[in-house]
Copies of this chain bind each other. A is one copy, B any other.
Amino acid sequence: MSDSETLLFANEFFYRAFAGRDMKGLEEIWHYSPGVSCTHPGWNPIIGRIAVLQSFRTILQGASPPDVRCLAPKPVLLGDSAYVLCHEALGGNYLVATNIFVRDGRLWRLHHHHAGPAVNPPETAEFPPISIN
């Protein structure tokens, strides 16, 4: 697999874990650095692995954990780090996200996630689904 493919795999892994309420998957895909960070829609940035994972735990334990799906991911490689731009579909609404990854051997782990409202759906076609099973 190319760097772009493994990056998109990691990005898709994150969304499948999130949508699947899979805290173990989220703990795995987030980088083990204590300095990871996350900006949920409308929230202030959360800094630190423990606080970031706790925020996902809180969301997943909520009344309506998000039925989120990633659309049209665009990988951008920057050597040993990288980012993915994508839309997120939640019911009939769309968000737009920036996901920053750091290389960890042959894998990529998520270092920062920022999602905010999008006015429009993605303009490009949906990226073909990637099997992670």
Contact = CB atoms under 8 A, between A and B. Distances in A.
Copy total for this chain: 2
Interface stretch (A7-15, A16-24, A56-64, A118-126): A118-126
Contact of A76 (B76, B112, B120): B112
A98 B96 contact: no
Contacts of A116: 39, 41-42, 96, 114-117
Contacts of A42: 116-119
Interface string A74-86: 1010111101010
A78 B120 contact: no
Contact of A44 (B45, B76, B122): B122
Contacts of A41: 116
